[in-house]
Amino acid sequence: MSTTRRDFIKTASVLAAGSVLPLDTLLKARTGVAPADKIRVGLIGANSQGFADLTSLLKNPEVECLAMCDIDRNVLTNRTNDLIKLGFQKPKLYVDYRKMLEDKNIDAVIIGTPDHWHCLIFVAALEAGKHVYVEKPIGNSIAEINIMQKAVQKHGKIVQVGQWQRSQPHFVDAINYVKSGKLGRIRTCKAWSYVDWKGAVPKVADSPVPEGVDYDMWLGPAPKRPFNKNRFHFTWRWYWEYGNGLMTDWGVHLIDYILYGMGKTIPASVMAIGGKYAFPDDDMVTPDTMTAVYDFKDFTMIWEHTIGIGLGNWKRPHGMSYIGENGTLVLDRNGWEVVPEKTRLEAIPVQKNVGNGLDIHTKNFIDCIKNNTPQKLNAGIDIGRNVALVAQMGNVAFRTGEKVSWDDSKQSFTTSAPNKLIVPEYHNGWTLPKY
């Protein structure tokens, strides 16, 4: 192995990130942290990824969970029990996030709610003087992601977006290789998500609101409608009112690294096709099969997703590829490799994942809070906004059936139909923040 190649596949980024304590040893370490050095966090949206973010943050001995908020009291009970089993004290519990944000002892909040709630809670948290760790995608519409970016600029708090692959060591090493130029001129990139573990969402009748659930609060700014379990925990992401399907669920993670590796932010145009081809009669609204083609003028990016099929490009259910004139780099969460174009480049076998990207990501967030260094965030607001915009462009192209182009100077599309999808309509007395 040559010295140059060794430089590219080294995993020194793990060491640079610093160590993260496992949960079974951090309780002893916490006793040595002075009260003034503690960072007290509150979690809003505790059912799934939000709780994973919280437990990751708690691996840092200076972090304490002061509060949890969820519209489902059953979730609050279960998560409280989980924390107690791990040796942590019971946090304060809330159903209304606004009440939680009144607690001046909370330094930072985690937003793990469905996407349609991100903007409102995010802006309110910043206005309350909190730092924020927000799940991706940062918002559920273009107007929201722009408002969120402006709010960070105004309030100056530390904001990390949950695009944790930005902290994953082997992803960083792969991008260093891409940027080395060894692949030659890259003319095509691909990103994809093939989800075979996900099946149809059978249609079910509306039903009474489950006991312990504040359903009106769950709906928030979304249109009023009867409770239906398909539009609640987890499967809410397949309905435009609350999420944007696989394009933002997986696409934000993967497209982000295409933008990062190629040094781009906004494409010249996007076209998209697809539909409900796998399960045409089920209850999902967002497409289960979709292809979007992005033109960046000097290269194209192709996004693909499908539900019900697991064997994607390069026999990987998810990933991305940078196709250069000398070879192709293929990257996913398990590792990366280089496949040469004939004999123009040395092949590099799979370089496996090293380290826990989420733990490194949350530690980066805590370090930036402690040192007041927003410039050192691995996935700050601009990164989150840029990829969310690109993903939204793909969905807008699909929903309008048009080839769409974005004018960043005017913050609008160049034709009228796509512009109607920029600003969401808020309901039930909630209003879109103004920034």
What is the per-residue pLDDT across 311-340, written as a single tens digit (0 to 9) for each? 999 999 999 999 999 999 999 999 999 999
| Mean pLDDT of all residues in 72-99 | 96
- 159 DSSP β-pair partners: 132
Per-residue pLDDT tens digits for 278-307: 999 999 999 999 999 999 999 999 999 999
Per-residue pLDDT tens digits for 155-191: 999 999 999 999 999 999 999 999 999 999 999 999 9
For residue 50, give the amino acid letter: G
Per-residue pLDDT tens digits for 364-373: 999 999 999 9
365 vs 123: CA distance, rounded Å: 18
pLDDT at 340: 97
Per-residue pLDDT tens digits for 384-396: 999 999 999 999 9
Take residue 173 and report the two structure tokens written for it. 């090493």
Spell out the residues 6+ positions from residue 432 whose beta carbon is closer than 8 angstroms to its own.
119, 143, 144, 147, 221, 423, 424, 426
pLDDT at 5: 38
Query: What does each C-alpha distance from 176 to 97, 245, 284 come to in angstroms?
Result: 41, 30, 39
Residue 291 dihedral angles phi and psi, to the nearest 5°? -130, 130
Spell out the residues 6+ positions from residue 342 whose beta carbon is closer than 8 angstroms to its own.
none
pLDDT at 344: 85
Three-class secondary structure of residue 3 per DSSP: helix
Scanning 97-234, the segments in alpha helix (DSSP H) are: 97-101, 118-127, 142-155, 169-179, 215-219
pLDDT at 29: 74
Per-residue pLDDT tens digits for 52-62: 999 999 999 99
Spell out the residues 6+ positions from residue 34 whose beta carbon is closer than 8 angstroms to its own.
none
Residue given tokens 């000398």 in the structure block:
326
Per-residue pLDDT tens digits for 66-84: 999 999 999 999 999 999 9
Say if strands 108-111 and 131-134 run parallel, antiparallel, or are unpaired. Answer: parallel
pLDDT(421) > 60: yes
- Is-contact 93 78, C-beta < 8 A? no
How does residue 345 score in pLDDT terms, banded at 50, 70 and 90? Answer: very high
- Structural domains in the chain, CATH included, are 3-165+361-380 (3.40.50.720), 177-354+385-419 (3.30.360.10)
What is 360-391 written as a DSSP string?
HHHHHHHHHHHHT-GGG-SS-HHHHHHHHHHH
Spell out the residues 6+ positions from residue 103 whose beta carbon is closer than 8 angstroms to its own.
42, 66, 67, 92
82 vs 68: CA distance, rounded Å: 12
| Mean pLDDT of all residues in 99-120 | 98
Q: Which one, of 188, 211, 174, lies nearest residue 351 by Cα? A: 174
Spell out the residues 6+ positions from residue 21 whose beta carbon is closer than 8 angstroms to its own.
29, 59, 60, 61
